[in-house]
Amino acid sequence: MTRLISALLLLLSSAPGFTAPADISVTDKVVIQRCVIDGPSARMIAVGFPGGFNYAFDAQNGAPVYVWQGGFVDFSGETLGRGGRKCEILGAKQSLGTATNPLRLKDPDSLPESIVFRGYRRNPDTGTPTFRFEVDGHLVEQSIGSPSEDTVQISLDFEHTNTGNKFYHLDSSKHEQVALSEGLRWHRPGVVAIPSRINKATLTISLRNVEEPYVRKTQQLSGAQLYSYYCRACHSNDGTNLIGPTFKNLFGRSQDVIRQDQTDTVIIDANYIRESITDPQAAIVKGYENVPMPSFATILSERDLEKLMEYFKNP
């Protein structure tokens, strides 16, 4: 059923006149979005891959901070000062266990004196970003990927081998396992040592299962948006009957339905509408026995139902 709904949503989003909700969704290319997002600095960048892998990167400190599966970000939040917009993650986020400043040169315990963000370049085929930094004057490139479900790979590329020993602070106790590429070793728990001669390093993190399901957060959509988003593929509001009956003059209309194999006539009210949405097979509109309506019981919140109800009074 979820598949059917996604297919319908896809169909809808390509239909002319469809107003997309405010979340930015990822289709076939990696999406990069600067926004004010929960994290250690004000310079966070959200990156979303097709297929539902997403991460947030702190550009000020050069650290991937967390990952999430599911939707990308909801951009409908209030506009904050400094030209930023607050955005919310659509999914269950997991910390990557990186320190605020994960990268250290020479001494694992002293913070770099300067970290200068040099922007990112994108892979021309996939759109994947590689972030570029100067850490105490040494150019470092960092990219993040998810080679398989539940694994995250952090790749580091140091421009020169004359940087000396390098260290990356990562709390592996947050994960199922962390595998290091050749030549790397644990300096101590939480600190990976990258020897001087090595200028390419990969840390492969196997994520723990999260309790929270990878669901989209409930979005604040208006009644009209909910209708466009979830119902319009099957229900018109102009009197035309599509796969389901029209919503025009829905309230107070008398309708023949089949309930428990018996024909019954109902006057449509809020209770009946509510039941039609959350338990659509309880009473089936006569003449529409062949195509079942999907249940929205787990998709729409109580607030969504109330908004839809308001919308039906005045579609």
Write out the residues near ligand HEC by the rule CB under 6 A: 8, 230-231, 233-235, 243-245, 255, 268, 273, 276-277, 280, 284-285, 288, 291, 293-294, 296, 308
- Closer residue to ligand HEC (CB): 22 or 293: 293
In angstroms, how far is CA 180 from the centroid of its own chain? Answer: 28
The 10 Å Cβ neighbour count of residue 290 is 7
Cα first-last separation, the chain: 26
| Structure tokens, 63 | 């650290």
Q: Are 162 and 89 in contact (CB under 8 A)?
A: no
- Closer residue to ligand HEC (CB): 2 or 162: 2
- Closer residue to ligand HEC (CB): 210 or 234: 234
CA–CA dist 267, 250 (Å, integer):
9
Smallest gap, in angstroms, from Cβ of residue 227 to ligand HEC?
Answer: 7
Query: Looking at this protein, which amino acid is placed at residue 119?
Result: G
- Closer residue to ligand HEC (CB): 42 or 242: 242
The 10 Å Cβ neighbour count of residue 298 is 10
Q: Name 171's Cβ contacts closer than 8 Å, sequence gap at least 6.
A: 97, 98, 99, 190
| Structure tokens, 186 | 């644990």
Smallest gap, in angstroms, from Cβ of residue 19 to ligand HEC?
Answer: 16
Smallest gap, in angstroms, from Cβ of residue 219 to ligand HEC?
Answer: 14
Smallest gap, in angstroms, from Cβ of residue 23 to ligand HEC?
Answer: 18
- Closer residue to ligand HEC (CB): 105 or 221: 221
The 10 Å Cβ neighbour count of residue 176 is 12
- Closer residue to ligand HEC (CB): 41 or 281: 281
Smallest gap, in angstroms, from Cβ of residue 26 to ligand HEC?
Answer: 23
Residue found under tokens 């600095």: 41
In angstroms, how far is CA 151 from the centroid of its own chain? Answer: 17
Smallest gap, in angstroms, from Cβ of residue 275 to ligand HEC?
Answer: 8
